[in-house]
Copies of this chain bind each other. A is one copy, B any other.
Amino acid sequence: MIQISNRDPRPIYEQVKDGLCKLMVSGGIGPDEKLPSVRELASGLSINPNTIQRAYRELEAEGYIYTVPGKGAFAAEQEATISAYTAKLYVDFDSACQKLLAAGESTDALAARIIQLSKGESST
């Protein structure tokens, strides 16, 4: 369910973090549900376990998950997770909007595009 691409300029561990975040936010992984183990995910995605480890470590530091030594990693409460995640997304959103507005695009054009996107949501 997590997509890793070498053509993506982002480092692998970030792609892993992003994939797990999406799963937790969209409900694919509920609160307090166990995440796949490092080894499991590593072999499943054909990625070095160290890379997965780093993703988990950072996710924990950012509060998205908590790990119980000897048991594994678990999704944190969704409320906090979601609000933190969407806050991050809004940073990118604001940046993109401001650049487009500065480039002369109208607010109506952007709003129309959003509606269009919400309908034909297919790729990516």
Q: List chain A positions with a Cβ less than 8 A from chain B.
A: 6-7, 11, 22, 25-26, 61, 66, 68-69, 82, 85-86, 89-90, 92-105, 107, 110-111, 113-115, 117-118, 121, 124
Chain A: interface secondary structure? helix
Contacts A6-B66, A93-B93, A101-B121 known; 9 new A-B pairs at CB < 8 A: A6-B68, A26-B103, A86-B100, A86-B104, A90-B100, A94-B113, A110-B111, A111-B111, A111-B114
Q: Are B100 and A107 in contact (CB under 8 A)?
A: no
A35 to chain B, nearest CB (A): 15
8 Å CB contact of A107 from B82, B97, B102, B114 = B114
A79 to chain B, nearest CB (A): 12
Bound Cα distance A6, B86 (Å): 26
Beyond A69-B11, A111-B114, is A85–B97 a contact (Cβ under 8 Å)? Answer: no
Bound Cα distance A99, B93 (Å): 9
Bound Cα distance A102, B98 (Å): 22
